[in-house]
Structure formats: C-alpha cells, structure tokens
C-alpha cells in the first residue's frame, strides 16, 4: 500500500485525518463498551496496568483522603508494614501519606491498595 500511495504522490499528511478518525472511533467503541473494554484499549495502545493505576491515582486522590498502603513492594520503599493513612499530597511519582503517628511516607503508586472516591 505504501508504494502505491507514494507512486501517486500521497504523503503521510494525507492520511492524518484517516488515522485520527480511526483512533477516535476505536476510543469511542472502548468507552461505550465499559471498563473492561477501556482497560483492554489502553493496554493495546501501550498503557500498562501500573500506568493506568498511577494515572487514576494522580487524577483522583486529594489531600485528606484515606488510603490503605500495602506491605513494601520495593527495596527502596520507606515504610516497613501496611497501614492506613491520609493523603498529604500527590506528585507524578508518588503519594505522600501521613500515618496515624503523624509520620509522612512517600509511597509508590502500586503500594496504594484501596481508597474511596466518595470519602
């Protein structure tokens, strides 16, 4: 197909609209088919489950929300056990969580297990 298009003088700019329309249709179908289809779509376009989780946390966690932190998953994790605490802040790389003893911990996104959007 590429050779045929190039032969008649078509450049990639001619296909821009088609690509955009196709991607938009795929996204619309995924959105209309529910969360399972949305996750599958995001995985297919290169989002790992970990990235999806991180993006959701970045977009939805707010200071004061209660979160459950799991046992450390990384050698460099600053905490030593699971705990429930309150969000202090959220950055592009971690969530700062205050425990019940007023200690502040920078927690990796994959170490946040549970929270409620309606809190």
User: What is the pLDDT at residue 116?
Assistant: 85
Q: Which of 68, 54, 80, 78 is nearest to 112 (CA)?
A: 68
Q: Which of 42, 49, 54 is nearest to 92 (CA)?
A: 54
74 plus 106 within the same structural domain: yes
116 plus 83 within the same structural domain: yes
Domain count, the chain: 2
The CA-based angle 76-88-117, given to 5 degrees, is 105
Q: What is the pTM of this model?
A: 0.81
User: What is the pLDDT at residue 117?
Assistant: 80
31 plus 73 within the same structural domain: no
pLDDT, one tens digit per residue, over 21-57 is: 999 999 999 999 999 999 999 999 999 999 999 999 9
Confidence at 72, pLDDT banded by 50, 70, 90: very high
Handedness of CA 27, 32, 37, 42 (dihedral sign): positive
The percentage of residues in the chain with a pLDDT greater than 70, rounded to a whole number, is: 99
Judging by DSSP bridges, how do beta strands 112-115 and 104-107 pair with one another? unpaired
Domain span at 30:
1-47
Q: Is residue 54 a part of any domain in this protein?
A: no
């Amino acid at each position: 197909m590429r050779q045929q298009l190039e032969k008649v003088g078509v450049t990639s700019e001619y296909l821009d609209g088609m690509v955009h329309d196709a991607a938009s249709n795929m996204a619309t179908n995924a959105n209309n088919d529910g969360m399972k289809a949305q996750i599958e779509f995001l995985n297919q376009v290169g989002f790992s489950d970990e990235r999806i989780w991180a993006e959701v946390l970045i977009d939805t966690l707010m200071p004061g929300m209660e979160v459950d932190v799991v046992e450390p998953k990384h050698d460099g994790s600053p905490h030593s056990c699971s705990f429930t605490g309150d969000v202090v802040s959220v950055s592009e790389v971690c969530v700062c969580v205050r425990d019940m003893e007023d200690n502040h911990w920078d927690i990796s996104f994959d170490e946040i297990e549970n929270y409620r959007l309606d809190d």
